[in-house]
Structure 1
Amino acid sequence: MTVEGGGGRDAATTPIIPGFSPDPSVCRVGADYYLANSSFEYAPGIPIWHSRDLRTWTQLGNALDRESQFPAGASDPSRGIYAPTLRYRDGTFYLVTTNVDAPGEQIVVTATDPAGPWSDPIVLAGLGGIDPDLAWDDDGTCVLTYCGLDPALRPHGGDLPVIAQARVDLARGEVRERPRVVWGGTGLAHPEGPHLFQRDGWWYLLIAEGGTERGHAVSVARSRAIDGPFEAAPANPILSRRSTSSPVQNTGHADLVERPDGTWAMVYLGVRPRGFSPAFHVNGRETFLARVEWVDGWPVVHVDDLLPAPADTAFIDDFTGPLHPRWVSPGAPLSAFVERAAGGGLLLRRTDAATGAPAALSARTRDLRWRYEARVDASAGAVALRVRLDERHWYEARLDAGALTFAARIGPLSVSDDVGRVDGEAVTLVVEAVDATAEGPDDLRFGVIGADGERWLAQKDGRYLSTEVAGGFTGRTLGLHALGAEPARILSARYSPVAG
């Protein structure tokens, strides 16, 4: 069961890592916590975070930062890199994940420093599925548990995935046995996202169920042996917001961690939908925190902890130092189209991926209301500021030799309108998420700041850049990309939350 508390800025409604940070996996080394998230088609992939208190997190880097680990630009929206598991053993960090565009494989990368560099992948073939987990039995045997999608694992039919497992040899990159089913879940849809951990002589198997939409939930089972048989908890699911009026929904896909004082905590994903039914979430699935109490040998989830403050999401970047790990791209590795400009800032070259996505210097939106400004060289090549959910759902403002255009694509429909001109050698393109004028989650308002001051160009309903409209597993990103043969020049970028 889930126990909720009273008012305040509580963990039930405040993400600890806001904005497109799904499928969290956490581990502790001494007094330090480390966390990894899914990244799907974006590169570099799998953000790695650090905290000393589980509440305040700093991004250290991205684990998959080169082509030998993840071929950037080859994956369609909401494909690519799925749910990772991050673990630590004997001085080494292990990160296991799935690239769904390499079916039948699970990949493992390792590092002695979670900030990187991370190794080239160890490829474990013949394990068709997603959401892998690593655990080590008492004799040191490594076990990979995952959401099995191979029909051979379901000899009696049915279309639900199962939780499967196999012993693996990471040193040799080998699967040591035929995978076996260890649990089918409680009967809810889509059992997935398994994590195994040990406590008081029991192996606990934590899974997500119900699908990653409004029915999402966390369930748990236990066994005396790492390979089962597993007994389901009597109070499953132990976490869900389904059929409630909570402002945070779709809660699930959790991982557990023990604090140094012996208490336990859970990280899990959730979304913050807004607007009229069915309500729309736009920042993707975010990472939340809960306290865990053990009662009669089973975890009970409490979401009544108070958080000291929301995450600090604001940034100003003039691109004078190394590129911050917040910057990613859906269409190509950053190194393929970003370079330092001689006079300061960055040059962006037009590069389109095989999937059709333009390579864009992109950052995740992380708040319900926010403002983003990109100061660009108006005398350089044409440039666009795009708010993207995927390649079929985006709005953008374009600047080409002083001419301004607003363009949009919603599914099969696209529009492009001339919206005036702007003077000045340096021009600032602006976009804000503001209160909705209709029944959506917000409006997106595009503007420009030039020699004659600030003015607004277009304001559009934000629901069309939501998961409920577009589908998929990601959230909005703010991308800057070149439009023509001449490189665009970006002088600085600024993002700030706005009180709503």
Structure 2
Amino acid sequence: MQLPVRPVIPGFHPDPSVCRVGDVYYLANSSFEYAPGVPIHRSTDLRTWEHIGHALDRPSQLPLEGVSASGGVLAPTLRHHDGRFWMISTLLAAEPRMFLVTADDAAGPWSEPVWIPDAPGIDPDLAWDDDGACLLTWTRFGEGIVQAVLDPRTGALLTERRRLWQGTGGKFPEGPHLYRVGALWYLIVAEGGTERGHAVTIARGPSPAGPFEACPDNPILTARGSDAPVQSTGHADLVERPDGTWAMVYLGVRPRGSSPEWHVLGRETFACEVRWSEGWPSTAGPIQPDAAPELTEHLTEAGQPLPPSWVAPGRFPADVLKAADHGRRLTATDGPAFVGRRQEHLYLRARAAMVVHEEAGGPAAPGRSGGSGGLELRIDALHAVGVEVADGRVRAVARIGAAQAVLGEAAATGETVLELRVVPHGAATPFGTDMGPDEVVAGTSGPDGFRELGRIDGRYFSTEVAAGMTGRTVGLVCSEGEVVFRSFTYSGADDPRALDGP
């Protein structure tokens, strides 16, 4: 069976969970250390999705203090029951803590969280049995998939937990979802780890407590050991259409470059058809856009609200990015501040017009006082490349773990247009180990066109190098003091020719 090669929600949108209300589908993704948390998308065809908001859109819902890179909110389950939307997830800080929020409208507002203190573990799922009891099914380290009855109003467990299934032998059985289909209950899980061994397996039983028998054709979805362009497929959720047919959403990555290949956008959301035979589901064909859509997003006027795509690690964007007379002011508080959006395309151009400091008589020379910062592409704070203005100079700088390198520099002007480009890799030996997934080019843009200051192999800003659970983001950074940006533009495409030009 041919699996899709194009995601339905591109970029860092892992761990998809889907539900349907009437003829409309709603989908939630993990957000990890970024706020707002848990992006919510809406669709009528499972192919094209609209970002309608976040389930966690205010600090009272999402305490991120002490959350490190790839911590935070992971593996939500989104369901619609009894006229309400329910989203349950885990906040991973010093230790994992499960919580539940609800809403009448998936676009929000969502409730304050109900914390579930007696269910240590990750990847919670909600289902309701024939008597209306709320069933919490989750991954408990060392025990596999477990279950208890939950009081959703208080977060209390009403029964002792019981073990359900340990999967088929792959490591890390996780990501459970429980469904009633006809007279049987089905339990779908991810196993094999969320890397190249990832897989989807399923079991069924006569009740939500089992006993569960494994599908004889497990795994029902995996790309492991194949040359498929989409790898690490797993962490799936099933949904039934109004006409009785079924579909599946799941995560996958698009690795590129020489062996062992690197993926840079993070884990993305893919979808496929599902066919039932002899009481078991199997994948039956791709669900994907006809072509990867291109995108240009502008952030210009100071009064313009931030697009819903904009996020910040460890804090909400509004905490550090404020309207200013000449644009938007980004302030470094308790360390460097970054605000940006996911890289959702294989190739991009990002530009930011920047003034570092303002005085009563107008803009002063960048770096003379006030602050330093610029435009940055990152997978986390230790794996980033950017163009920064400081001390009267504009520099292309790369950070790879503890190492930092200046790739090139030039004199700065009172207002500087900074530019980052992600372009195809230019290695001359396509079968050598020097072929990375892409290259990142840093420079400035002016009346005479683009001036390159430096470039670097994109593998250094990949999950295979940085580790972790997220993907690249690109946006504005302030490393010290405060800086002012007049505008920001993101242009992305999976075909690099679409970005050719000045």
Distance, in Å, in 2 between the alignment partners of 1:206 and 1:109 is 23
After superposition, the C-alpha distances for 1:359-384 in whole angstroms (9 at most, x for unaligned) are 21111001112211122235544322
Match for residue 413 of structure 1 among 386, 403, 413: 403
Match for residue 171 of structure 2 among 186, 189, 197: 189
Distance, in Å, in 1 between the alignment partners of 2:304 and 2:80 is 31
Match for residue 484 of structure 1 among 477, 480, 486: 480
Q: 1:436 and 2:425 equivalent? A: yes
1:332 and 1:359 in contact (8 A); partners too: no
After superposition, the C-alpha distances for 1:212-262 in whole angstroms (9 at most, x for unaligned) are 001100000011101111111010000000000001000000001111111
Q: How does 1:103-114 map to 2 (within 5 A)?
A: 103=95, 105-114=97-106
Matching residue's letter, 1:310: A
Partner of 2:61: 69
Structure 1 residue 483: deviation in Å? Answer: 2.9
Partner of 1:258: 240
Distance 1:73 1:443, change over 3 A: farther
Structure 1 residue 490: deviation in Å? Answer: 3.7
Partner of 2:267: 285
Q: 1:136 and 2:128 equivalent? A: yes
Match for residue 39 of structure 2 among 40, 44, 47: 47
| 3-state SS, counterpart of residue 335 of structure 1 | helix
Distance, in Å, in 1 between the alignment partners of 2:315 and 2:374 is 17
Distance, in Å, in 2 between the alignment partners of 1:367 and 1:314 is 11
Distance 1:417 1:292, change over 3 A: closer
Match for residue 14 of structure 2 among 22, 30, 48: 22
Q: 1:359 and 2:337 equivalent? A: yes
Match for residue 223 of structure 2 among 231, 236, 241: 241
Distance, in Å, in 1 between the alignment partners of 2:289 and 2:484 is 41
1:422 and 1:450 in contact (8 A); partners too: no
| 3-state SS, counterpart of residue 102 of structure 2 | strand
- TM-score normalised per structure 2: 0.91
Distance 1:127 1:382, change over 3 A: same
Matching residue's letter, 1:359: A
Distance, in Å, in 2 between the alignment partners of 1:459 and 1:418 is 9
Q: 1:404 and 2:357 equivalent? A: no
Q: How does 1:79-478 map to 2 (within 5 A)?
A: 79-101=71-93, 103=95, 105-149=97-141, 151=142, 153=143, 162-305=144-287, 307-319=289-301, 320-343=303-326, 345-352=327-334, 358-377=336-355, 380=358, 381-400=371-390, 402-416=392-406, 419-423=409-413, 425-437=414-426, 438-478=434-474
Distance 1:305 1:95, change over 3 A: closer
1:378 and 1:402 in contact (8 A); partners too: no
Matching residue's letter, 2:439: D
Distance, in Å, in 2 between the alignment partners of 1:84 and 1:43 is 15
Distance, in Å, in 1 between the alignment partners of 2:156 and 2:248 is 31
After superposition, the C-alpha distances for 1:399-455 in whole angstroms (9 at most, x for unaligned) are 2365111222212212235511243x4432111111113411010001111354321
| 3-state SS, counterpart of residue 464 of structure 2 | helix
After superposition, the C-alpha distances for 1:123-159 in whole angstroms (9 at most, x for unaligned) are 111211111100000111000101111x5x4xxxxxx
After superposition, the C-alpha distances for 1:449-477 in whole angstroms (9 at most, x for unaligned) are 13543211111010011111111111011
Distance 1:411 1:482, change over 3 A: closer
2:398 and 2:407 in contact (8 A); partners too: no
| 3-state SS, counterpart of residue 473 of structure 1 | coil
1:19 and 1:366 in contact (8 A); partners too: yes
| 3-state SS, counterpart of residue 138 of structure 2 | strand
Partner of 1:7: none
| 3-state SS, counterpart of residue 270 of structure 2 | strand
Distance, in Å, in 1 between the alignment partners of 2:287 and 2:349 is 29
1:331 and 1:360 in contact (8 A); partners too: no
Partner of 1:156: none
Distance, in Å, in 2 between the alignment partners of 1:83 and 1:284 is 14
After superposition, the C-alpha distances for 1:20-71 in whole angstroms (9 at most, x for unaligned) are 0100000001111110000111111111101111111111111112222212
Structure 1 residue 107: deviation in Å? Answer: 0.3
Identity of aligned residues (%): 47
| 3-state SS, counterpart of residue 463 of structure 1 | helix
After superposition, the C-alpha distances for 1:105-135 in whole angstroms (9 at most, x for unaligned) are 3100111111111111101112111111000
2:311 and 2:341 in contact (8 A); partners too: yes
Distance 1:121 1:298, change over 3 A: same
Distance 1:306 1:122, change over 3 A: closer
Matching residue's letter, 2:73: I
Structure 1 residue 273: deviation in Å? Answer: 0.2
Distance 1:314 1:491, change over 3 A: closer
| 3-state SS, counterpart of residue 81 of structure 1 | strand
Query: Any stretches of 5+ residues in structure 2 without a counterpart?
Result: 359-370, 427-433, 497-502
Matching residue's letter, 1:100: L
Distance 1:397 1:171, change over 3 A: same
Q: CA RMSD, aligned part only?
A: 1.7
Matching residue's letter, 2:129: D
Query: Any stretches of 5+ residues in structure 1 without a counterpart?
Result: 5-10, 154-161
Distance 1:78 1:143, change over 3 A: same
Distance 1:95 1:304, change over 3 A: closer
Distance 1:252 1:417, change over 3 A: closer
| 3-state SS, counterpart of residue 278 of structure 1 | coil
1:208 and 1:253 in contact (8 A); partners too: yes
1:17 and 1:287 in contact (8 A); partners too: yes
Distance, in Å, in 2 between the alignment partners of 1:475 and 1:124 is 29
2:40 and 2:51 in contact (8 A); partners too: yes
| 3-state SS, counterpart of residue 468 of structure 1 | helix
- Which stretch shows the higher mean deviation, 217-226 or 301-310? 301-310
| 3-state SS, counterpart of residue 460 of structure 1 | strand
Structure 1 residue 172: deviation in Å? Answer: 2.4
| 3-state SS, counterpart of residue 484 of structure 1 | strand
| 3-state SS, counterpart of residue 27 of structure 1 | strand
Distance, in Å, in 2 between the alignment partners of 1:374 and 1:176 is 54
